[in-house]
Amino acid sequence: MRTIEEVLSPPTDAEAAAALARFAVDARRHYGPRLLDLYLIASRARGDARPESDAEGAV
């Protein structure tokens, strides 16, 4: 069983990248050819994300 700290800890860069990749697959499947592009925005896109930063995207 995981501790509360493990459950609530911010995602690693690898975990955030994997979640964004899954989101991209799901968005492309849902929107099909209507989807023009997906963008990573904010601190992760700029490369100055801190450990507690979330991953923000725009569709």
Q: What's the CA gap between 24 and 30, in Å, rounded?
A: 10
- In 3D space, the residue among 25, 16, 20 whose CA is nearest the CA of residue 39 turns out to be 20
What does the domain layout of the chain look like in residue ranges? Answer: 4-58
Could you give the residue ranges of the DSSP H alpha helices within the chain? Answer: 4-8, 13-31, 43-46
**10-residue averages of pLDDT along the chain (59 residues):** 86 88 96 95 92 87
CB half-sphere exposure, 6, CA atoms < 13 A? 3
Q: What's the CA gap between 34 and 6, in Å, rounded?
A: 38
Mean pLDDT of the chain: 91
In this predicted structure, what is the pLDDT of residue 35? Answer: 96
In this predicted structure, what is the pLDDT of residue 3? Answer: 92
In this predicted structure, what is the pLDDT of residue 40? Answer: 92
In this predicted structure, what is the pLDDT of residue 9? Answer: 84
